[in-house]
Chains A and B, each alone.
Chain A
Amino acid sequence: MNITNLKLSGELNIYAAAETQQAVQQALLEGGSALSLDLSDVSELDTAGVQQLLLLHRECVHSGRPLRLAASSPAVDETLALLGLRKLFQA
C-alpha cells in the first residue's frame, strides 16, 4: 500500500495555478494506490486553486484512487464551504 502524499502550501490562487497544476500532475504520475492531500499551510484558496483541487479529485476518481484530504486550513475550509464542496472532499 503506497500512498502518494501531496502537500500544497501558501497562496493557492491563480498566480500559482500553473505551478499547482504541475504539482498535481506530478503526484498523479507517482502512481500510488491512494492519494493523501495536505492543505494545512494553504493561506488562500481562490477559484483557480479550487479548479486544481477539482482536477485532482476527478483524476483520482477516474483512476480509481481514493483521495483523502488529510489536513486542511481555515482558508480551505471557508472556500470549500462557500462553494458547496465540503462533502466532496470529506474523508
Chain B
Amino acid sequence: MDLNPALDTFVAECRELLEQMEQSLLALEDQPGDRELLDAVFRAAHTIKGSAGMFGFDQMVSFTHHLENLLDKLRAGELPFSSSLSALLLRSGDHIQSMIAPSVAEEPLSGEVQARGTALVAELAAMLGGPVAAPAGKSASSTATSAAPKHGSLADDLAVFLHSDAADESASPITRYWRISLQFGPDVLRNGMDPMSFVRYLATLGDVHSVATGWDRLPPLAEMDPESCYVDLEIELDSSADRTAIEAVFDFVRDDCVVRIAPPTQVVDAQLKAIDALPESTGRLGEVLSAVHAVAWPELSTALAKQASASDERPLGQILVEDSAVPAAVVDAAVERQQQSRQAKAQDSRLIRIDADKLDQLINIVGELVIAGSGTQALAAKAGIPDVVESAASLLRLVEQVRDSALGLRMVAIGATFQRFQRVVRDVSRELGKDIELSISGAETELDKSVVERIGDPLMHLVRNAMDHGIESGMTRVAAGKSARAQVSLNAYHDSGSIVIEVGDDGAGLNVEKIRRKAIERGLLAASANPTPQEIRQLIFEPGFSTADAVSNLSGRGVGMDVVRRSIETLRGTIEIQSEEGTGTTVVIRLPLTLAIIDGFMVGLGAARYVLPLDVVVECMELSEAHRNAVSEQGFINVRGEVLPVLRLRDAFGISEGAARRENVVVVRFGQIKAGLVVDELLGELQTVIKPLGKLFSYLQGISGSTILGSGEVALILDVPGLIKRVEGARPTGIVVA
C-alpha cells in the first residue's frame, strides 16, 4: 500500500513515546515512587494502544493492552517497582518497537517476534500475579479496540474489550460503528453546554453502542477549576446517518472541542466505491471528498483555513486525516482520483479527433506519392545523372518518412480491444460455472485501425472456445493437480513486420488422437495417412470439424474455427494452433501491420511483374542446375542441409511463354514455414500502395492485390501465405536428399 501521511505521524509518535517511556523507566530506577514518571510511562503505553487501535493494528493493541494493565497498577501504587520489573518493561518497549514496521507495512509478524510477544505476555501476567483476561483483537477480522479513549481511563473501555471479545462475530462489531472522539475545551461548561447532551443527541441518530470517558486531563486538586471542562469522550455510534448529519451535532462546540469522526468500515467502502464512480470532471481534493460525503463542509472549511495559514504546513489531506479522522484510505483514493482526472484532462488536450475518411484519403495520396517517387527514382537511374539520382533518392527517403507517419496515424493500440474481453470472460465463466481469469499482455501493441476493427469477432470466438472447450471444469482441474482457477490469456507483440496475437488457455489441450479419429470420420484425413501431430491439430480449422461432445451454446457447431481462419486470411494473416495435452492451448495469429502500403520485392515471370512483401523474403539465390532437377522431380531442394519445399510460380500461374534460361529462387517465410518460390528475374525492392483486387478477382488464389509501378505497369501482389499453403499441400511422398 501507499505510504499514508497519518501512518508517518503514528510511527514518529510511537518512537517518541517509546523513547519517553524508556527514559522514564530509567529515571524511575533512581526515584521509584515518582508519580509523574509513573504517569508518563502509563500514558505512553496508553496512547500507543489508542492510536494503534485506530489503525487496526490488532497485535500491537493486544500486546500494549497487557502492558498498560500492568502500568496502571504500577502507577496506582498497587505494584512495587523493582529492577526486574523495569527490565521487563524495557523489553516490552523494544517488542512494541519491533511491531511497528511490519504493522505499518501490513505484513505478518515473523515467527520470532510472535514468539517473543507470547513470552513477554506470560511474564507480564506473572508479574500481575495471575493469568490476564484476554484482551481484544483475537477475532480474526476485528480492527480492535479503537473505542479506547485516547487519554487515561480504565472505565468501561475494559468492558468494551471484553464485550467485543465475547461477541466474536464475523463482522467485527467495532467497525460497524462510527467512532466519535471528542476532546472538550475548558470553556464548554461555562458556555452552557454539557458533553452529556451531545451523547443524548447522538442517541437520536442511532444506537450509542458505547461511551468511554477520559479524564486524564483532570488537573491536580490544587489546580482544579470546578467550572472548567477537562474530559474527553469516545463514542461508538451505530447509525445510518451520513457524516454531515453526525458532524452537525457538534455545530455549537466546534470552537470548544476537537471532534474526530471515524466512519464504520461499510461507510468507508461505500465512499471508496463512490470515488471510483465519480465522473472525471470532479476537481479538487475537497470537492471529491465532499461529493462522497467523506467530509462535512464545516470540517473542510476549517481544514482549508488551516492549510491556508502560514503556521500549518500540512497538505489538506493530512489535515483532514489527522484532525478530523477522515479515513486515510478515503483521502488516498480521492487524491488518486483527482490525479487521474488531471491526467485525463491533460491527455485530452493533446488529442485531436480525426475523421477516418480524411485519414484514408491522406494515406491514399501518400501512396500515390510513394509510387510517383519510385517512378522518379527509376527514371533518374535510367538517365544516369548522379545529382538527379541522389536527389531522387533523398526525395524518396522523405516520402518514406511521410508514409510511415501517415500509417502511424492509423495505428491503434490493441489494448482497448483486449479490455473488452474482461467483461466477456467474467460473464461467460459465470455462465459456464468455471473459475476463469483473463490476463492481458502487450496491450500497447499497435496495429492498423482497420485490422483492429476486424479482429474482434475472430478473437471473441477463440476466447469463448478456449473457455468452453479448452478449459476443464474446476473439479477436473483439481483432480489433475492444476489450480482450480483457470487462465485465459491475450497477448500481442510485433515480430519481423507482423503483429502476433495469441489467445492462450491453461486447459486440457488438444487431444491429437481424438482429432485424428474425427478427421478420418469426416473424411478430412485418409486412414492410411501419417501426418505429424501439428498437422493433425491444424485440422481443427477445416470446415465441418468439431470434437465437442456436447455442442454448446457458445461455440458449438463446428462452424467456428474455419470461419475464424477465413477472417484471418482475409486480413492477409495466418492462424496456427499450438497445444500440449494436459497443459493448454495457444492459438497464434499473425497479421501484417498494415493493409495499405507495402515494402515489396519485385520479381519477374516472363513479361509479368509480381511483388512480394519484403518482410517475408528471407533470401534469394540462383537456381542451380542440380536444384532444377530436384525441383521438377521432388518439389524441394536442399539448402545448406535444410529441406526447402519449392513452388515454381510459372507452373502455379500457368505461364508458359518467355521461359528464361536462368531462374531464381526467392526463399520466403511466414511464421514457422519456409518455402522457395521459383521465378525468372529478381527485380529489387520498392514501396508501393496496395490496391485491393476487385470482387471479380477475389477468387484468385495466390494473389492478394495489385499495384501500379512507377512505369505505369500493373504488378500483382503475391499472397505468400496462400502460396505457401499450396506448397505444403503438395507434399513429397518420398524423401531423397539431392
Contacts and interface: CB of A to CB of B under 8 A. Distances in A.
Interface of A: 14, 17-18, 20-21, 25, 28, 46-48, 50-52, 54-55, 58-59, 61-62, 64, 79, 82-88
A85 B213 contact: yes
Nearest to A46: B194
B221 A87 contact: no
A20 B230 CA distance: 16
A88 B200 CA distance: 21
B205 interface: no
A82 B200 CA distance: 8
Interface string B212-240: 11010010010010110111010000000
Interface stretch (B19-27, B152-160, B371-379, B715-723): B152-160
Nearest to A49: B226
B35 interface: yes
Contacts of A58: 215, 218
Contact of A17 (B157, B194, B195, B227): B227
B233 A14 contact: no
A47 B76 CA distance: 24
B189 interface: yes
Given A17-B227, A21-B226, A51-B229, A83 B196 contact: yes
Q: What secondary structure prevails in chain A residues at the interface with B?
A: helix
Interface of B: 35, 76-77, 153-159, 189-190, 194-196, 199-200, 210-213, 215, 218, 221, 224, 226-227, 229-231, 233
B77 A55 contact: no
A86 B156 CA distance: 8
B226 A20 contact: yes
Nearest to A20: B226
The 6 closest A-B pairs by CB, nearest first: A17-B226, A84-B156, A84-B211, A21-B226, A83-B213, A54-B215
A55 to B, nearest CB: 6
A1 to B, nearest CB: 20
Contact of A47 (B155, B224, B231): B231
B196 A25 contact: no
A17 to B, nearest CB: 4
Contacts, number: 82
Nearest to B188: A47
29 contacts: A14-B189, A14-B226, A17-B226, A18-B227, A21-B226, A25-B221, A46-B189, A47-B189, A47-B231, A48-B227, A51-B218, A51-B230, A54-B218, A55-B218, A55-B221, A55-B224, A58-B215, A58-B218, A64-B77, A82-B196, A82-B200, A83-B199, A83-B233, A84-B157, A85-B156, A87-B158, A88-B154, A88-B155, A88-B156
B534 to A, nearest CB: 77
Given A17-B227, A51-B230, A59 B158 contact: no
A73 B610 CA distance: 110
A53 B155 CA distance: 13
Contacts of A21: 224, 226
B156 A87 contact: yes
Given A55-B221, A84-B157, 8 more contacts: A21-B224, A47-B189, A48-B189, A55-B218, A59-B221, A83-B195, A87-B156, A88-B153
Nearest to A15: B227
A63 to B, nearest CB: 9
A28 B226 contact: no
Contacts of B210: 84
Contacts of B194: 46-47
Contacts of A25: 221
